Structure 1
Amino acid sequence: MRRRGYGGPMIQVRRGVERYRGGDADAGIASLHAFSFGPHYDPHNLRFGALIACNEERLAPGAGFDEHPHRDTEIVTWVVEGELTHRDSAGHETTVRPGDLQRLSSAGGVRHVERNSGAEPLCFVQMWLAPLSHGGDPAYEVVRGIADGTPYALARAGAMLHVRRLADGERTAVPDAARVYVHVVRGAVRLGAQRLAAGDAARITDAEGLELVGLTRAECLLWEMPPESVHG
């Protein structure tokens, strides 16, 4: 749904139930894709600004993605519940938990494994962004227990991630930016006249003076991005 006030921002709401379903049920993997991904091709839904993927992944205990390559992609992962085991060809091996933010800059090329090595189900949101330039050396980091409202700069993509945790009735400003992507991780919020629940997202162009209001306890991820032309 698109809404535009006179001279104001344009908001396109995408519901969680509209996401492309993927994964492999027999392997214990369930995936929901917000953008065209793999065999799910929609030429009108390839990207929003720098963002080219926003996947909700659910892995049963023992399930995972075997070693596979990435190149020229900024990959940011937010664990919702459970524990994610990451191992890559650059020698990093970590366990990522709820509240931790993982960033893998694949740059000129890297291979990695993602797995649920724990005894409980794993759920995480993984977001892929296009870099401003290609090539270079891969980079990796985990920010443990990122605080509410602390911005995380993804310099290679020219983007900024904001984590917002809201109490019922609490308000927070949406960044004023050329492009803002809002993903509701848990709970429910109001954006303008729209109610967004867990799994829903809003794509906002020319954001200015907007607020998110918690309708329950909620957690949201907000990407603040430059004009789309910066990324071609």
Structure 2
Amino acid sequence: MSVHVRRAQQRFRTEVEGRTTWHSFSFGAHYDPDNVGFGALVAHNDEWLQAGSGYPDHPHVDAEIVTWVLSGSLRHTDDRGHTAVVGPGQVQRLSAGSGVVHSESADGGLPARFVQAWVRPDESGLAPSYAVADVAMGEGWTTLVGEGAVPINTRGASLHLGVLGVDDDLELPASPRLHVFVTAGSVTLADEVLVDSDAARLVDEPGRPVRGRAPETRLLVWSLP
């Protein structure tokens, strides 16, 4: 049983012209042998793109890539014929499977911020697939990916959005591993205050309460097997 808080400033940072990425785990040139992932979650990137910037065509294999846009909009294009503009209130999942090439860029002449996670699938070499869905958000928990929502090829993995006001309480989902990331506002978790871009990793701590400390506080929580 453990709760490990990771502050925003502890993350690796990649900065190139037009974009800044904050990495929760080892990524690219950034390597820490003690921080290569958390269960099936192998990447959790907080992306900031300037208007018109992004990632040109690049390949992926055997990764479930889940994207949640926080501001602006993101244009996705891949070599399987999928093109979409994804904005706040929509969740995108790209199952890379046996191989896919895609590009991502800020759309509409405005900057964009999004959180993108990569999850290991249960099987390798699956047929690539793509999905984007509108999300009806309300108070409390909303499941974005997993059972009853956009499917993912990792059994037992799901992504939840939590919305809290001041002094609102929520119990974290029941799961062996939980990755909590604050995208707006502030919460109290295990006597620690987490603010925007802070994270926590919980092992065998199902049902832990979180309490909102600011209006419109929002959490992204991965439940992991």
Aligned-partner SS, 2:162: strand
1:75-107 per-position Cα deviation (integer Å, ceiling 9, x unaligned): 000101000000011111001101211100000
Gaps of 5+ in 1: 1-8, 227-232
More helix by share: 1
Residue number among 190, 203, 214 corresponding to 2:188 in the alignment: 190
Q: Does 1:114 pair with 2:101?
A: no
Cα distance in 1 for partners of 2:110, 2:92 equals 20
Cα drift, residue 23 of structure 1: 3.1
- Deviation, structure 1 residue 147: 2.5
* Corresponding residue of 1:157: 154
Match of 2:51 in 1: 61
The 1-side partners of 2:79 and 2:41 are apart by 25
Deviations 1:192-222 (A, max 9, x none): 2011111111000002331111100211011
> How far apart, CA to CA, are the structure 2 residues paired with 1:146 and 1:105?
23
- 1:6 paired residue number: none
Structure 1 residue identity aligned to 2:163: R
Contact 1:87–1:113 (CA under 8 A) maintained in structure 2 = yes
Q: Which residue of 2 aligns with 1:4?
A: none
Alignment partner, residue 9 of structure 2: 17
1:126 corresponds to 2:124? no
Identify the residue that residue 203 of structure 2 maps to in structure 1.
205
Q: State how far apart, in whole Å, the 2-side matches of 1:224 and 1:147 are.
A: 18
Moved more, 153-162 or 60-69: 153-162
Aligned length: 216
- Is residue 18–residue 50 contact of structure 2 (8 Å, CA) maintained in 1? yes
Which residue of the other structure, out of 174, 178, 181, is the alignment partner of 2:179? 181
Following superposition, the deviation at residue 155 of structure 1 comes to: 3.6
Percent identity between the two aligned chains: 40
CA, structure 1 residues 98+175, in 2 after alignment: closer, same or farther (shift >3 Å)?
Answer: same
Mapped partners of 1:186, 1:146: distance in 2: 18
**Structure 2: 5+ residue stretches without partners:** none
Shift of the alpha carbon at 1:169?
1.1
Q: Is the 8 A contact 1:57 1:124 kept in 2?
A: yes
2:14 counterpart letter in structure 1: G
CA distance in 2, matches of 1:62, 1:103: 22
Q: Distance in 1 between matches of 2:173 and 2:121?
A: 21
Q: Alpha-carbon deviation of 1:133?
A: 1.0
- Given candidates 71, 78, 89, the residue that maps to 1:88 is 78
